[in-house]
C-alpha cells in the first residue's frame, strides 16, 4: 500500500466542519466564558444541536481506523478555545473510562446518558485523582465495599480536580476494592444520576481553562447497584483472585483510561499552540517598529520558525500514538506518553513566545494570547505530569523499575 501523510476526504471534511464551529461559535464566546468562569451551556447546546456533542459523533471519531479523527477534531476545537473545548470534550474522559473497562451492555446503557439529548444535553465526569493520590494512583483511598444483602456497592471517599464533578449526570469513579493489593485492587464504578451521598462543596477557581467546570467530589456512603462496577462483578472477582495468587492481572482502571486519551489530550494542546502561533505571526507582519514590520527582524522570525517547527513535530508524535492506539500496537517506548509530553510542553513554550512577540500588548486581555498562555500550562500537569510521562518513557526504554 502506498504511504501517505495526506488526510483523506472524510478527515478533511471533519477538520473543516469542526474548525468552522470553533471559528464562528467558540472563539466569539471564549473571552466571556473565561471571565465568567462558568460552564458554557449555550455553546454545549449549540454543539449538541449540530451533532458535534453526542455519542454518535464520538463513536464516529473512534471508528476511524487510522485513529486520527479524534485528534483532528480535538485540535480544531481547542484552536477555538481550550476552556470551552474542555467543557464540550470533558465528557469523553468518562466515556473512555466506560469503554476501557465496561461490558457491551454497560456501554449501551450508560454512554448515551453521559451526553443527554439534543434538547437537554448533559455532561459526565471521570473521578480518579484524590488529594493524596494524583500521579501516585496507588495511594488512592476511596473505598468501594460490596453489600451482598442488597447487591449494592457502597462508595466512600473524596475525589479532587474532577472535570464536570458535581454538575455531571453520570460520574465514573475509581475506588479501592481490596487495599492489600494496592493499585491492582482497584475498580471503576458508574454512579448514576441522582445518587444520594455524592456532592461537591465548591467549584475550583483556576489559572486557565476557566470555562471548564472543575470541583472536588465527596462520596458519603454512596450506594450504587451491584451491576455498576465496570466489567461486572464476576470479572472483578476473577481479576482480584489472580492478583492475590500472584498472577498477572489486567491494568489498573485509571491508567487504562489515561492511555486511551493521551494522544487526544496532546492534540488539544496542539490546538492552543497553533492558535497562538498563527496570531503571533499575523501580529508580527503588521506591527511596525524602527520603520519595518517586526517579522523582518531575525530574532522574531527565528522565534516563529521554532514555534512552527515544534508544533509540526509534536503533531507527528500525536498522530503516531493515535494510530498505534487505534490499531492495538503496543507502546513499547512509551509512545502515548511521548505524544502528550511533547505537545503539552510545546503548548507552554509556543504560547509564551507569542506573548513575548506581542510585547506589552500580549500581557493585556485585549489579545487572546494571554488566555492561551494561561490555558496551556495545564497540559504539563493533568492526565499525568511531564515528570510522570518521562518516567513512563524511561521505564519503557530501560526496563528499569524507576521511581
Helix pair angle (298-326, 335-358), 10° resolution: 160
C-alpha cell at 309: 517547527
Which of the residues 2, 130, 383, 387 is marked catalytic? Answer: 383
**Residue of 158, 152, 100 whose CA lies nearest to 129:** 158
Q: How far apart are CA 52 and CA 48, in angstroms?
A: 6
**Residue of 248, 246, 217, 251 whose CA lies nearest to 231:** 251
Q: How far is CA 47 from CA 43, 78, 212, in A?
A: 6, 14, 15
Q: Report CA dihedral (43, 48, 49, 51) to the nearest 10 degrees.
A: 130
The dihedrals phi and psi of 173, each to the nearest 5 degrees, come to -120, 130
C-alpha cell at 219: 462520596
Q: Say whether 109 is catalytic.
A: no
- Number of C-beta neighbours around residue 146 at 10 A: 16
Q: How far apart are CA 236 and CA 192, in angstroms?
A: 20
Q: How far apart are CA 385 and CA 395, in angstroms?
A: 15
Q: What is the CA radius of gyration of the chain?
A: 22
Give me the residue label for grid cell 451491584: 226
For 352, the enclosing helix (H) or strand (E) is helix 335-358
DSSP state of 167: T
Beta strands in 18-140 (DSSP E): 124-127
Catalogue the active-site residues.
383
Amino acid at each position: 500500500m502506498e504511504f501517505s501523510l495526506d488526510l483523506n476526504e472524510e478527515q478533511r471534511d471533519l477538520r473543516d466542519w469542526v474548525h468552522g464551529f470553533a471559528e464562528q461559535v467558540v472563539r466569539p464566546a471564549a473571552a466571556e466564558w473565561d471571565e465568567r468562569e462558568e460552564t458554557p451551556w449555550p455553546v454545549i447546546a449549540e454543539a449538541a444541536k449540530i451533532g458535534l456533542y453526542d455519542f454518535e459523533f464520538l463513536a464516529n471519531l473512534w471508528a476511524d481506523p487510522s485513529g486520527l479523527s479524534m485528534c483532528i477534531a480535538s485540535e480544531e476545537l481547542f484552536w477555538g478555545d481550550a476552556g470551552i473545548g474542555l467543557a464540550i470534550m470533558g465528557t469523553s474522559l468518562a466515556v473512555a473510562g466506560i469503554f476501557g473497562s465496561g461490558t457491551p451492555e454497560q456501554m449501551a446503557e450508560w454512554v448515551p446518558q453521559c451526553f443527554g439529548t439534543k434538547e437537554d444535553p448533559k455532561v459526565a465526569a471521570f473521578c480518579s485523582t484524590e488529594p493524596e493520590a494524583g500521579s501516585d494512583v496507588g495511594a488512592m483511598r476511596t473505598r468501594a465495599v460490596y453489600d451482598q444483602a442488597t447487591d449494592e456497592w457502597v462508595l466512600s471517599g473524596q475525589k479532587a480536580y474532577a472535570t464536570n464533578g458535581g454538575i455531571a449526570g453520570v460520574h465514573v469513579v475509581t475506588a479501592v476494592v481490596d487495599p492489600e493489593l494496592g493499585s491492582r485492587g482497584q475498580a471503576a464504578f458508574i454512579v448514576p444520576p441522582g445518587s444520594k451521598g455524592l456532592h461537591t462543596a465548591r467549584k475550583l477557581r483556576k489559572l486557565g481553562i476557566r470555562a471548564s467546570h472543575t470541583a472536588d467530589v465527596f462520596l458519603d456512603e454512596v450506594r450504587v447497584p451491584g451491576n455498576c462496577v465496570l466489567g461486572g462483578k464476576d470479572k472483578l472477582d476473577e481479576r482480584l483472585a489472580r492478583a492475590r495468587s500472584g498472577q498477572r492481572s489486567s491494568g489498573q482502571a485509571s491508567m487504562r483510561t489515561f492511555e486511551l486519551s493521551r494522544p487526544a489530550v496532546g492534540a488539544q494542546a496542539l490546538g492552543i499552540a497553533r492558535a497562538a502561533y498563527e496570531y503571533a505571526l499575523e501580529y508580527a507582519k503588521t506591527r511596525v517598529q524602527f520603520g519595518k514590520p517586526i517579522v523582518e527582524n531575525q530574532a522574531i522570525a527565528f522565534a516563529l520558525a521554532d514555534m512552527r517547527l515544534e508544533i509540526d513535530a509534536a503533531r507527528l508524535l500525536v498522530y503516531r500514538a493515535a494510530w498505534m492506539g487505534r490499531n492495538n500496537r503496543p507502546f513499547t517506548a512509551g509512545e502515548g506518553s511521548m505524544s502528550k509530553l511533547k505537545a503539552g510542553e510545546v503548548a507552554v513554550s509556543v504560547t509564551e513566545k507569542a506573548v513575548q512577540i506581542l510585547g506589552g500588548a500580549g500581557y493585556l486581555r485585549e489579545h487572546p494570547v494571554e488566555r492561551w498562555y494561561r490555558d496551556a500550562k495545564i497540559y504539563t500537569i493533568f492526565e499525568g505530569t511531564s515528570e510522570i510521562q518521562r518516567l513512563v518513557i524511561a521505564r519503557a526504554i530501560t526496563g528499569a523499575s524507576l521511581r
